[in-house]
Amino acid sequence: MRNTHRITILAAAAGMAAITGCTAPNGPSSSPAPASAPTAWEASIGIKNFGFEVPASVRPGAMIAVTNTDSAPHTLTAKDKGGFDVDVPAGATVIFEAPDEAGEYAITCTASKYAAGYAT
């Protein structure tokens, strides 16, 4: 079962809130955090133990760093509006641009595509 959560694109960033995301096929991961990445972004999203840690809001067009500390690949996929679909390999950080349109974007992980053997 996939859980769906939302990220709000607003004019100002706020604090972080931990929310669940992907469902672990074999339980939670316990891999160590990767080395620090450069700080060329305005907001960050964490993927840890098959869950998302997202800011309460970000500004439209902000650069967002997504760090996956799990040992499995994940995605950060907008279910509404086709806003974004970001592949985040295990232990990696990926930077992407938030949509320019303000609003709430339901997010989920579609990592099941990796289990099915699809290439990304």
Q: Which pLDDT tens digits describe the chain residue by residue (120 residues)?
A: 355 566 776 643 333 333 445 655 554 444 444 555 445 779 999 999 999 999 989 999 999 999 999 999 999 998 876 679 999 999 999 999 999 988 888 889 988 554 433 333
The residues, ordered by sequence, that sit 6+ positions from 58 with a Cβ below 8 Å of its Cβ are 7, 8, 9, 10, 13, 42, 43, 64, 98
In a domain? residue 119: no
**Domain hosting residue 22, numbered range:** 5-110
Structurally, the chain folds into a number of domains equal to 1
- CATH label of the domain that carries residue 91: 2.60.40
In a domain? residue 48: yes
In a domain? residue 118: no
Whether 86 contacts 110, CB under 8 Å: no
Residue whose C-alpha is closest to residue 19's, from 42, 44, 48, 62: 48
In a domain? residue 91: yes
8 vs 5: CA distance, rounded Å? 10
Element of type H or E holding 79: none
